[in-house]
């Protein structure tokens, strides 16, 4: 996610984020269970503000690839 820092700042869009009380959370999960594809290094990552998902990415930790919805993404 280091490569998406500017995108994450835009999603937050809070001019006074250091004073607000909104909850911010990250979640990550494997998109499929064992046996379908090797999802050992493949995650779906979501960023939420006050319970509303404002950003999501597909992440491959083996290849360090990060893709937003609609961007090309390979599962190797």
Q: For the chain, which residues make up each domain, given as ranges?
A: 2-13+26-67
For the chain (length 76 residues), average pLDDT per consecutive 10? 71 70 90 80 92 92 90 82
Q: Could you tell me if 66 and 1 are in contact, meaning their C-beta atoms sit under 8 angstroms apart?
A: yes
pLDDT at residue 3, as a whole number: 64
How many CB atoms sit inside 10 A of residue 58's CB? 19
pLDDT at residue 17, as a whole number: 67
Distance (Å, rounded) from C-alpha 6 to C-alpha 47? 14
Q: What is the token pair recorded at 13? A: 């869009």
pLDDT at residue 13, as a whole number: 67
pLDDT at residue 14, as a whole number: 62
Q: Could you tell me if 23 and 51 are in contact, meaning their C-beta atoms sit under 8 angstroms apart?
A: yes
Total-model pTM = 0.77
Q: What is the token pair recorded at 3? A: 């490569």
């Amino acid at each position: 996610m280091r490569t998406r820092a500017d995108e994450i700042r835009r999603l937050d869009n809070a001019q006074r984020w250091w004073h607000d009380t909104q909850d911010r959370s990250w979640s990550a999960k494997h998109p499929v269970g064992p046996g379908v594809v090797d999802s050992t290094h493949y995650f779906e990552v979501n960023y939420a503000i006050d319970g509303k998902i404002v950003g999501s990415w597909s992440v491959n930790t083996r290849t360090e690839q990060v893709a937003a919805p609609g961007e090309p993404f390979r599962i190797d």
